C-alpha cells in the first residue's frame, strides 16, 4: 500500500506529458500570455511543495535555483558517512516538471530583487513576475567565529557531504601508516558540534562506521584509540524533544561509544585543534559543525525588518510587509506560532510552500486566503541502526519502532522512485551485513582539506 501511494503521488505531480517541451528565453522573462506569472526562487522543500500544487493550475510558474536538482538534505549525513551515494538523495528539477505545461525552470543565481518593477535579477537575465515566492533556505551560522568557519566542515550541499566523506576515509588511510601514537590519536579524534538532529545522527552514523566497517577494513589499526565527541552548548541534546527522549538518546549514544558533553561551548578552532570556552584544547583533525543556521544571503536582498538569524519578518499570510505580491517561506521566513518563532525545519517549509500555492490559486479565483497556521506534527531523529526517537501527536517512541517510523517517513518524502529503491536497498544491506558500500575517496587531497594537513 505504501508503494502504491508513492507511485500515485508521483503520477499526480507529473500530470499529463506535454506534446513538446516549451522553452522561454530568460531575457524575455516569461511567455506573453494572459496568465499571471509566478516566480519561485529555491527548489528546497518549500519550493518543491509549491511547484507540486501549482502544476496545471493555470498560472505561469518559473522555478529558479542555482542547482538543477532538489536535494534531500536530511540524508546528507549518510552520504558523508559512506552510507548512500550522493545521487540517491537528489532529483533533477526538469525531470519533475517534464509533464507539466505551465512549469518552467531556470538554473540561475539570483543577484538582486527589483520589487518596484516586479523583477527578479539573475546572472542569466531578469525575470518578471506578478507573484514572487522566496524559498532560498539557509546556510551554516558560525556566529562570527572565523577559526571555526575556516577549519570546520558543515553539511548544506552535496559537495559538502562528498568532501567530508573523502576526509574521513583519507584520515583512516593516513592513520594506518602513522607511527607516532600522538599524531595517530589526533587523526582518529572527531569532534561534532551541535546536539540537534543533524549532530546526533551524524555522530551515531560515524561511530557505527568506525566500529563495524572500519574495524574490518583496517585490522592492523587499533580503533579503540578513535573518539567521536559530541559537544552541545545547551544542558541536553535534542532540545526540541521531551526530556525522556533526550535521556534515551544520550544514553544510547554513550553505548555506541560517542562521548556526549552538554553545556560545552567551542571558542575557537585551528589546524588539528578545537578550543573550548573552558580553555580545554582537544586535539582533533576533523571538526563537524551543526550548531546553527541562518537565512540564506538572498534574505539580505529583501527589504524590511529582520529577525534572528537574518530571517525576514513576514505578515501572518507569509507576504512581505508593503508587498502583498511577495511571499517568503521556509528558513528565510520569520513568523511566530503559539508565541514562538517557527523553527528552521523541513516540515515548516513544506507546509508553507503548500499554503502559498493554495493562496495564489485562491487569490486568482477572487478569494481572500486565511492566515497561515502551522500544524506541528512532531520531530524525530535516528541514533543508529535499530534506534531512533520520535515525538509526534502526543506520543513518545524510542528504539526499534521509532527507527522503523523514521525509515518509512524519510522514504516517503524522498523524491524519485529509483532513489527510494536505491536508498532502501542500501539501508537493507547495512541492516543485515553491517556494510557500507560507498567507501570511495574521490579527491586526491581528501584528508588535507580543513584539517591542517595541506
- 381-390 pLDDT, tens digit each: 999 889 999 9
Angle between helices 400-413 and 2-14 (to 10 degrees): 20
pLDDT at position 55: 95
pLDDT at position 31: 42
Inside any domain, residue 81: no
Based on the domain organization, do 271 and 169 belong to the same domain? yes
Based on the domain organization, do 382 and 356 belong to the same domain? no
Find out whether 268 and 275 touch, Cβ atoms under 8 Å. Answer: yes
Question: Quick one: average pLDDT of 281-291?
Answer: 97
- Measured distance CA(358)–CA(365) in Å, rounded: 11
- Judged by DSSP in three states, 191 sits in strand
Based on the domain organization, do 253 and 159 belong to the same domain? yes
Quick one: pLDDT band at residue 147, thresholds 50, 70, 90? very high
pLDDT at position 443: 77
**Strand extents, DSSP E, 90-188:** 90-92, 103-107, 110-114, 119-122, 127-128, 131-134, 138-140
Inside any domain, residue 231: yes
Based on the domain organization, do 27 and 114 belong to the same domain? yes
What cell numbers appear for 260 in the block? 556526549
How, if at all, do strands 37-41 and 60-65 pair?
A: parallel
Based on the domain organization, do 163 and 300 belong to the same domain? no
Does the pLDDT of residue 300 top 50, yes or no? Answer: yes
Proportion of the chain above pLDDT 90, given as a percent: 84
Inside any domain, residue 124: yes
Inside any domain, residue 299: yes
Inside any domain, residue 387: yes
For residue 324, the domain's CATH number is 3.50.50.60
Does the pLDDT of residue 4 top 70, yes or no? Answer: no
Based on the domain organization, do 57 and 185 belong to the same domain? no
Inside any domain, residue 411: yes
Based on the domain organization, do 167 and 300 belong to the same domain? no
Does the pLDDT of residue 432 top 70, yes or no? Answer: yes
Q: Annotated active-site positions, please?
A: 201
Domain end among 334, 364, 394: 364
Inside any domain, residue 256: yes
Question: Quick one: average pLDDT of 171-192?
Answer: 96
Based on the domain organization, do 200 and 262 belong to the same domain? yes
Quick one: pLDDT band at residue 444, thresholds 50, 70, 90? low
pLDDT at position 67: 97
Q: Which domain holds residue 331?
A: 2-66+108-140+294-364
pLDDT at position 18: 35
For residue 241, the domain's CATH number is 3.50.50.100
Q: How many domains, the chain?
A: 2
Based on the domain organization, do 126 and 247 belong to the same domain? no
Q: Following CA atoms 206, 211, 213, 215 in sequence, which dihedral angle do they give, to the nearest 10 degrees?
A: 130
Count of beta carbons in the 10 Å neighbourhood of residue 344: 22
Lowest mean pLDDT among 57-66, 67-76, 200-209, 432-441: 432-441
Q: Which long-range contacts (CB under 8 A, 24 or more apart) does 258-262 make?
A: 258/203, 258/204, 258/207, 258/228, 258/229, 258/230, 259/227, 259/228, 259/229, 259/230, 260/195, 260/230, 260/232, 261/229, 261/230, 261/231, 261/232, 262/195, 262/232, 262/234, 262/235, 262/236, 262/237
- 410-419 pLDDT, tens digit each: 999 999 999 9
Based on the domain organization, do 183 and 215 belong to the same domain? yes
Does the pLDDT of residue 275 top 90, yes or no? Answer: yes
pLDDT at position 30: 40
- 330-372 pLDDT, tens digit each: 999 999 988 899 999 999 999 999 999 999 999 999 999 999 9
Domain end among 313, 332, 364: 364
Based on the domain organization, do 17 and 126 belong to the same domain? yes
- The whole-chain average pLDDT of the chain stands at 90
Based on the domain organization, do 196 and 135 belong to the same domain? no
Domain end among 308, 333, 364: 364
Does the pLDDT of residue 32 top 90, yes or no? Answer: no
Cα angle 272-228-172, degrees, rounded to a multiple of 5: 65
Inside any domain, residue 187: yes
**Strand extents, DSSP E, 80-166:** 90-92, 103-107, 110-114, 119-122, 127-128, 131-134, 138-140
pLDDT at position 221: 95
Amino acid at each position: 500500500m505504501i508503494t502504491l501511494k508513492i507511485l500515485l503521488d508521483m503520477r499526480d505531480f507529473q500530470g499529463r506529458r506535454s506534446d513538446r517541451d516549451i522553452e522561454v528565453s530568460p531575457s524575455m522573462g516569461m511567455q506573453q500570455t494572459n496568465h499571471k506569472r509566478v516566480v519561485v526562487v529555491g527548489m528546497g522543500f518549500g519550493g518543491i511543495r509549491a511547484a507540486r500544487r501549482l502544476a496545471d493550475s493555470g498560472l505561469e510558474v518559473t522555478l529558479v535555483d542555482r542547482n538543477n536538482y532538489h536535494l534531500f538534505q536530511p540524508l546528507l549525513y549518510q552520504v558523508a558517512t559512506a552510507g548512500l551515494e550522493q545521487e540517491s538523495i537528489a532529483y533533477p528539477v526538469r525531470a519533475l516538471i517534464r509533464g507539466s505545461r505551465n512549469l518552467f525552470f531556470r538554473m540561475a543565481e539570483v543577484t538582486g530583487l527589483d520589487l518596484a518593477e516586479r523583477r527578479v535579477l539573475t546572472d542569466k537575465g531578469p525575470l518578471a513576475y506578478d507573484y514572487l515566492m522566496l524559498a532560498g533556505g539557509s546556510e551554516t551560522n558560525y556566529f562570527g567565529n572565523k577559526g571555526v568557519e575556516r577549519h570546520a566542515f558543515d553539511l548544506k550541499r552535496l559537495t559538502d557531504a562528498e568532501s567530508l566523506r573523502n576526509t574521513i576515509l583519507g584520515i583512516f588511510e593516513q592513520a594506518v601508516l602513522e607511527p607516532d601514537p600522538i599524531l595517530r590519536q589526533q587523526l582518529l579524534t572527531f569532534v561534532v558540534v551541535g546536539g540537534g538532529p543533524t549532530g546526533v545522527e551524524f555522530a551515531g552514523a560515524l561511530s557505527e562506521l568506525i566500529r563495524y566497517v572500519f574495524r574490518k577494513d583496517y585490522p592492523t589499526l587499533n580503533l579503540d584509540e578513535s573518539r567521536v565527541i559530541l559537544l552541545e552548548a545547551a544542558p541536553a541534546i535534542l532540545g526540541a524533544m521531551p526530556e525522556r527522549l533526550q535521556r534515551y538518546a544520550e544514553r544510547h549514544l554513550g553505548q555506541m561509544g560517542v562521548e556526549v558533553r552538554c553545556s560545552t561551548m567551542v571558542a575557537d578552532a585551528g589546524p588539528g585543534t578545537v578550543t573550548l570556552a573552558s580553555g580545554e584544547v582537544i586535539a582533533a583533525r576533523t571538526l563537524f559543525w551543526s550548531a546553527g543556521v541562518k537565512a540564506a544571503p538572498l534574505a539580505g536582498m529583501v527589504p524590511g525588518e529582520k529577525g534572528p538569524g537574518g530571517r525576514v519578518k513576514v505578515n501572518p499570510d507569509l507576504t512581505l510587509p508593503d508587498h502583498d505580491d511577495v511571499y517568503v517561506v521556509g528558513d528565510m521566513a520569520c513568523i511566530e506560532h503559539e508565541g514562538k518563532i517557527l523553527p528552521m525545519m523541513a516540515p515548516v517549509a513544506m507546509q508553507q510552500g503548500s499554503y502559498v500555492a493554495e493562496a495564489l490559486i485562491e487569490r486568482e479565483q477572487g478569494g481572500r486566503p486565511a492566515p497561515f497556521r502551522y500544524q506541528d506534527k512532531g520531530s524525530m531523529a535516528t541514533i543508529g541502526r535499530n534506534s531512533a526517537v520520535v515525538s509526534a501527536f502526543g506520543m513518545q517512541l524510542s528504539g526499534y519502532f521509532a527507527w522503523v517510523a523514521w525509515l518509512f517517513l524519510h522514504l516517503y518524502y524522498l523524491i524519485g522512485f529509483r532513489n527510494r529503491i536505491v536508498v532502501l536497498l542500501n539501508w537493507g544491506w547495512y541492516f543485515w551485513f553491517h556494510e557500507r558500500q560507498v567507501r570511495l575517496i574521490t579527491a586526491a587531497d581528501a584528508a588535507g582539506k580543513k584539517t591542517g594537513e595541506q
